[in-house]
Chain A
Amino acid sequence: MNLQSEPVWLLVSLVAVIAFAALNAAYLVWVERKGAGHIQRRIGPKEVGPFGLLQPLADGAKLMSKQLLVPKGVDPVLFKVAPILVLVPAIMSFVTIPFSETLVGRDINLGLLMIFAFASVNVLGILIGGWGSRNKYAVISAVRAVSQNIAYEVPMLVIVLSIVMVSHTLNLNEIVRQQAGFFWHWNIFRLDLSLLMPVSFLVFFVCMLAETNRAPFDMAEAESELIAGAFTEYSGMGFGVFFMGEYANIVIGCALAVILFLGGWQCPFGVASGWWWFLIKLYALIWSVVWIRWTYPRTQFYGLLNLSWKILIPIAFVNLILTSAQMKLDNLF
């Protein structure tokens, strides 16, 4: 039986994508806790299984066995829909991620657009979760999440626009294919396409952190001010699904950074390209996300907005203008 034939591939890719997202969500929590431990010179989880490797399973079992409380006065529909609205778009986005030349759920031409379309639904989930909770902390958090996402979606999309301009396609697999060869063919090092490429990678990465509500931009959760923000009223697996959605979004964000800037599944030395290189780059980037979380304290809200409107957006637009100017110059000569 040919796995790549329809409709088998539809089912296989769906199951694989859900499994990949769930496994990543579970084990990134472990990576997060181990990383936090060692950065603070602690050990981290160690009791459940060797090196605490079974800790995610224990956590999952605990969350699933807990009661799903629906407090009095919440909007029953919105309250229940919100976790799903956070998790499902994240899983959907995995479908277009090219793990290797052939290993991609749906090699669609508008893959990049589709990921950004679904990434915007994520904030909608947080908004209606916060709104439906009938809790002042949750509402504050939801409002913060929205204004944060608006602020950071602009520079992110402008940066991605410049990448799309130089690669002439929205197909993720095609963008990776254009970065074949040695690592200086990766978009991040292509100074001949745009002088600000490394800077635009940094801007993209910062925006990705903010889009996924990760520290130091976790204004939506902000446990020291807002308890757990939009997730305050959620218990058991409702909270667990929010958590899985957050980690799935991190994986999507890092995968996008790898595809757009770091050559996706291309080998840095031009030999033996494949999904292993994609995963190596992906997890290196995810690790740096964890590293950043445990290095910086949370920014204040005006600092967060200042960073976006005063620094990232101008840089993104300068990058866009420079890129288009460079493209024009190349055409002239």
Chain B
Amino acid sequence: MSGYFKELISGTYSLAVGLGITIKYFTQPVVTMQYPMEHVKMTPRYRGHIELVRDEETGASKCIVCGMCQKSCPSGCITVAGKKPEGSKKKVLTTYRLDFTKCSLCGLCVESCKPGALDFSKDYNLASPRKEDYIFDLLKRLEEKS
């Protein structure tokens, strides 16, 4: 009989504890993010598709058109082209095409880039019904960003 009352009291108490927890949660601010209106800020090590890094001094890409990224890419999704302007010793980037449909975000291109001209973007809102939308002209993107 004493077990009956003990269970009754402890049971009622535990129910009250439960109610306390939910009312505490009720008063706390909501944690939902209103996704299309708000966006999550990606962490520094998030791997989006690769992106060209701008040289702060010249305003252009840091790329020296060595082609290491193109060679290191196991899926062959990078196409780099450059030309040497008249009277210049360095090559200048003319095309940087990334075929993101094949890219597996392994990051070998970023690792192999000596001048640090490549980086992962934080862009995660990629959706399109057309394959062509995933072939990025990174040089154009860089110009658009500036």
Contact = CB atoms under 8 A, between A and B. Distances in A.
Interface of A: 35, 37-43, 291-292, 294-296, 311
Nearest to A310: B4
Interface residues of B, number: 15
Contacts of A292: 19
Task: Sort A-B residue pairs by CB-CB distance and give the 4 closest, nearest first.
Answer: A295-B22, A39-B22, A38-B26, A295-B18
Contacts, number: 35
A96 B21 CA distance: 37
Interface stretch (B28-36, B55-63, B104-112): B28-36
Interface string B3-41: 000001000000100110111011011111010000000
A196 to B, nearest CB: 13
Contact of B32 (A43, A294, A296): A43
Interface of B: 8, 15, 18-19, 21-23, 25-26, 28-32, 34
A37 to B, nearest CB: 8
Contact of A39 (B8, B25, B31): B25
Contact of A295 (B19, B32, B34): B19
Classify the secondary structure of B's interface with A: helix
B19 A291 contact: yes
Nearest to A315: B8
A41 B31 contact: yes
Nearest to A296: B18
A296 B16 CA distance: 11
A42 B32 contact: yes
A39 B26 contact: yes
A296 B18 CA distance: 8
Contacts of B31: 41-42
Contact of B26 (A35, A43, A296, A311): A35
A41 B28 CA distance: 7
Contacts of A40: 25
A38 B32 CA distance: 10
Contacts of A294: 22
Contacts of B25: 38-41
19 contacts: A35-B26, A37-B30, A38-B25, A38-B30, A39-B23, A41-B25, A41-B28, A41-B29, A41-B30, A41-B31, A42-B30, A42-B31, A42-B32, A43-B34, A291-B22, A292-B19, A294-B22, A295-B21, A296-B18
Nearest to B20: A295
B8 A311 contact: yes
